[in-house]
Chains A and B, each alone.
Chain A
């Protein structure tokens, strides 16, 4: 091989490396540019509420009571979705804010027990023509209903609890109001993507196993340690019926159990399996 050939091949390789390095930089720049265009178009955003199968199909509490729900009313208001960058982190406890916000006005009393275990989450409302993009944060309030079957309560449960030969009608009303702020939906699919071709959807999820516990989870797991089960309510039964609200429960439950109940109530709100920051508002 001649000296000239060696020098020529070496030069070619060196030049190729220089061009390849420049090419790699351009790739990164193009990646950054793709995100900007989406804001120009609009689409629809669907808000749903979900009590999950616990509420629609019933479940066994941590202390062995089989609870089925005829109605679980929650009253929701001040619903808003946001496009946040950086993504909102509920662990910080900060107020959620974003460059783009879409607000659903109105007060909605929803029956989370509507439908069977195959039912879809309950539709709360649809916002049309919101700016396209990824709505990766959500906030809402739960307040006492001013009218209807759950008047006076933010959460009203109409259920049946059974254990062995015991079977009780259960009516539980909770008056407190809560403000929930959540980041992105955590679940089987990612939610909140609004495009001109397809609507985005967001979900306010309520985990009622936080109150009663879940026998399918280990007894010493975080969830069952937090829940009070159903036994403390069963002990308040009169003539086959448990009918209590927070006022009577504050008088009839032990201080420790009542405090645990208040804590569990504040953790009901989720978005899918993603936890919310919660503030008790009334």
Chain B
């Protein structure tokens, strides 16, 4: 039986390991994110570079951190996209898991370009008002031409 062998050898082993101490992350997964247009694009891969295809994705917002905002699956390239509700939160956490491997990425859109915030930041009221303005623009143009024609008819 080899267990509980010579303690002197044990000390030597410990010493050799101390010399060999090294940081190890081991196998694992890596999730990265980026803004693409008005959505967030997630890309997940194992440490060996293979995509985490058909992996389970769960998205959380900072305002409701324990309730998933949206769940889904990566495609065959380990990719997933979602539209964040930036009225709800600017900070997001995305978890990707497959076969005992998993990783979580945390990011804030506060540092993102104002274009993105503006693009995704319109409230329902703002959208209604902007639509009303466009419609009103058409009505105004029509009224302008109608009044012009009326003026021409009056002259003739």
Interface residues of A (CB under 8 A from B): 1, 6, 9-10, 13, 16-17, 20-21, 23-24, 27-28, 31, 34-35, 86-87, 90-91, 93, 134, 152, 171, 173, 175-176, 183-184, 186-187, 189-190, 193, 207, 209-210, 217, 221-223, 226, 238, 241, 243-248, 250, 252, 263, 266-267, 272-282
Chain A residue at minimum C-beta to C-beta distance from B87: A27
Q: Could you say which of B2, B104, B121 has the most chain A C-beta atoms within 10 Å of its C-beta?
A: B2
In whole angstroms, what is the CA distance A176 to B13 when docked? 9
A247 pairs with B10, CB closer than 8 A: yes
A217 touching B97 in the complex, CB below 8 Å, given contacts A10-B136, A279-B21: no
Q: Could you say which of A87, A171, A210, A282 contacts B18, with CB atoms under 8 Å apart?
A: A282
Q: Is the CB of B17 within 8 A of A27?
A: no
CB B86 to nearest CB in A, in angstroms, measures 8
| Contact string against A for B residues 126-142, beta-carbon threshold 8 Å, 1 for contact and 0 otherwise | 10011011001000100
Determine the chain A residues whose CB is within 8 A of the CB of B24 once the complex forms: 263, 266-267, 277-280
Contacts of B47 on A, CB cut-off 8 Å?
222
Task: Judge whether A277 and B25 touch: CB under 8 Å.
Answer: yes
- Per-position contact with A for B115-126: 1 when CB-CB < 8 Å, else 0? 000000111011
Complex alpha-carbon distance, A41 and B121, angstroms? 33
**Closest Cβ–Cβ distance, residue B33 to chain A (whole Å):** 13
Instruction: Please state if B13 and A190 are interface contacts (CB–CB under 8 Å).
Output: no
- How many residue pairs at the A-B interface have CB separations less than 8 Å? 162
Please list 13 pairs of residues, one from A and one from B, whose beta carbons are closer than 8 Å in the complex, sorted by A's number.
Answer: A9-B136, A16-B129, A17-B126, A23-B125, A93-B23, A187-B97, A190-B66, A210-B27, A222-B48, A245-B3, A247-B10, A280-B20, A280-B21
Q: Are A273 and B17 in contact (CB under 8 A)?
A: no
Bound Cα distance from A90 to B4, whole angstroms: 34
Interface residues of B (CB under 8 A from A): 1-6, 9-10, 13-14, 17-18, 20-30, 46-48, 50, 60, 62-63, 65-66, 86-90, 93, 95, 97, 99-104, 106, 121-123, 125-126, 129-130, 132-133, 136, 140, 143
Residue of B nearest to A251 (CB): B2
Report the minimal beta-carbon distance from B94 to chain A, rounded to whole angstroms: 11
Shortest CB distance A257–B (Å)? 16
Alpha-carbon distance A171/B87, docked complex (angstroms): 57
Contact B23 A278 (CB under 8 A): yes
* CB nearest to A84 among chain B residues: B106
B9 proximity list for chain A (CB < 8 A): 247
Asked if residues A6 and B125 are in contact (CB atoms below 8 Å), the reply is: no
Contacts A24-B121, A86-B106 supplied; 5 other A-B pairs, CB < 8 Å: A24-B126, A27-B87, A31-B90, A209-B100, A222-B50
Q: How far is the CA of A247 from the CA of B22 in the complex (A)?
A: 19
Docked Cα-Cα span, A240 to B14, in Å, equals: 30
Are A274 and B65 CB-contacts (below 8 A) given A17-B129, A28-B90?
Answer: no
How many whole Å from B149's CB to the nearest CB in chain A?
A: 15
Residues of chain B lying within 8 A (CB to CB) of residue A173: 3-4
Q: Which 6 A-B pairs have the closest CB atoms?
A: A267-B26, A273-B102, A248-B2, A186-B102, A275-B28, A266-B24
Expressed in whole angstroms, the Cα–Cα distance for A43 and B88 within the complex equals 27
Residue of A nearest to B25 (CB): A277
Other-chain residue from A6, A16, A273 in contact with B97 (beta carbon distance below 8 A): A273
How far, in Å, is A242 (CB) from chain B's closest CB? Answer: 9
Contact A10 B104 (CB under 8 A): no
Looking across the interface, which residue of chain A has its beta carbon closest to that of B46?
A: A222
| In contact, B123 and A20 (Cβ under 8 angstroms) | yes
Cα separation A71 to B16 with both chains bound (whole Å): 29
Q: How far is the CB of A6 from chain B (nearest CB, A)?
A: 6
Which residue of the partner chain B has the closest CB to A207?
B100
Chain B proximity of A45: nearest CB distance (Å): 15
Task: Give chain A residues whose Cβ lies under 8 Å from the Cβ of B4.
Answer: 152, 173, 245
Roughly how many angstroms separate A227 CA and B57 CA in the complex, as a whole number?
Answer: 27
